[in-house]
Amino acid sequence: MGGPVVLGIESSCDETGAGIVQDGRLLAHVVATSMDEHARFGGVVPEIAARAHLHSFNPVVRQALDRAGLRIGRIDAVAVTTGPGLSGALQVGLAGAKSVAYAAGVPLYGVHHLAGHVAADTLEHGPLPEPCVVLIVSGGHTSLLLVRDLVRDPIHHLGDTLDDAAGECFDKVARLLGLPYPGGPAIDRAARGGDPKAVAFPRPLTGPGDDPYAFSFSGLKTAAARWVEHHRRRGAEVPVADAAAALQEAVADVLTRKALAACRAHDVKTLVVVGGVAANSRVRALAERRCASAGIELRVPAMTLCTDNGAMIAAVGDLLVRAGAEPAPLDVSIDPSAPLEYASLTPLARRAVRIA
């Protein structure tokens, strides 16, 4: 028969995701994106995202159930992202998840979006080693974490971004270079034909007196903008491929350098890299090379699990159910700016799984 079957719902930004997990195994996941609708604005428009979630929610859940070969009555629990994210988008996902949980007569669990990214790796590589260092890199977040038991212990932040996240830097510089939104994949594609040594972009916060685990990509974005402006003032063509390759190299260098330093300082033998920017080819390649040299195991989820998806939320829900966590209260609500302290965003679950 197997353990409980958990349906996960993700709607924090512009992807509507539904995933189904049982005993750490991914049974199905489906993602609908409204990215094309936002592209002409150069970024996500909250109202468009919320409306797209309304249209996509039911079809995405139905497709996930169909792919898993299940009826709604076979679901034992529902997990949903309750923060952080866009307020309207989160509200749609939570309302839909509450409806499914009520209709199926099963408990509901509120999940932190970033904990979902961490849990995504378990669907590919199994349980997380305890402890491990986790590097989260996405459009809105760049963090270095020390993780023990993901759903029982507090999540310890070693360092976070002080301003622009890595993905945000890619998006903004891509726009300057005339590349399409989203900027991360566009930068990655353009960089294939460029020279990463063509431009000496800075490596922010890597000096002797800097915080070893904090991130800052605003200055890098500004340096790229000035470099582009310099070429345009002279009437020269901007070498887009070289700029993309050099920018990508700078970001990958900073991310992996700090992540490896954290592993060494805390005597941790496993680095987990997750989030949308974990799909970047240079970030992956440099992390692989540096981890191999340092004798550190590198774990990166499949690219389809790096970006926002319901499978990662189902993975957290699966862990919470198996840990005996209390479900969310009936009046559970969203928290668009929720800090990452615990995998669960519901106080009852938090008390139930905390270790004294």
The number of angstroms, rounded, from the C-alpha of 49 to the middle of its chain's C-alpha atoms is 17
Average pLDDT over residues 99-113: 97
Q: Are 158 and 177 in contact (CB under 8 A)?
A: no
In the structure, what pLDDT confidence band is assigned to residue 140 with cuts at 50, 70 and 90?
Answer: confident
Q: What local confidence, expressed as pLDDT, does residue 351 receive? A: 41
Report the share of the chain in percent with pLDDT over 70. 97
pLDDT in tens, 270-324: 999 999 999 999 999 999 999 999 999 999 999 999 999 999 999 999 999 999 9
Q: Are strands 132-137 and 270-274 parallel, antiparallel or unpaired?
A: parallel
Q: Mean of the per-residue pLDDT values for the chain? A: 94
Q: Are 107 and 101 in contact (CB under 8 A)?
A: yes
In the structure, what pLDDT confidence band is assigned to residue 39 with cuts at 50, 70 and 90?
Answer: confident
* Integer Cα distance of 184 and 282 in angstroms: 11
pLDDT in tens, 16-38: 999 999 999 999 999 999 878 88
Q: What local confidence, expressed as pLDDT, does residue 1 receive? A: 60
Residue 350 has pLDDT above 70, yes or no: no
Q: What local confidence, expressed as pLDDT, does residue 353 receive? A: 42
Residue 153 has pLDDT above 50, yes or no: yes
Q: Which residues contact 45 (CB under 8 A, 6 or more apart)?
A: 37, 38
Q: How far is CA 223 from CA 201, 204, 230, 233, 319, in A?
A: 7, 11, 11, 15, 43
In the structure, what pLDDT confidence band is assigned to residue 355 with cuts at 50, 70 and 90?
Answer: very low
* Integer Cα distance of 352 and 264 in angstroms: 33
The 3-state secondary structure of the chain reads: CCCCEEEEEECCCCEEEEEEEECCEEEEEEEEECHHHHHCCCCCCHHHHHHHHHHHHHHHHHHHHHHHCCCHHHCCEEEEEEECCCHHHHHHHHHHHHHHHHHHCCCEEEEEHHHHHHHHCHHHHCCCCCCEEEEEECCCCEEEEEECCCCCCCCEEEEEECCCCHHHHHHHHHHHCCCCCCHHHHHHHHHCCCCCCCCCCCCCCCCCCCCCCCECCHHHHHHHHHHHHHHHHCCCCCCHHHHHHHHHHHHHHHHHHHHHHHHHHCCCCEEEEECHHHHCHHHHHHHHHHHHHHCCEEECCCHHHHCCCHHHHHHHHHHHHHCCCCCCCCCCCCCCCCCCCCCECCHHHHHHHCCC
pLDDT in tens, 86-102: 999 999 999 999 999 99
Q: Are strands 270-274 and 297-299 parallel, antiparallel or unpaired?
A: parallel
The number of angstroms, rounded, from the C-alpha of 11 to the middle of its chain's C-alpha atoms is 13
Largest CA distance in the chain: 70
Question: Residue 335 corresponds to which tokens in the numbers above?
Answer: 């928290």
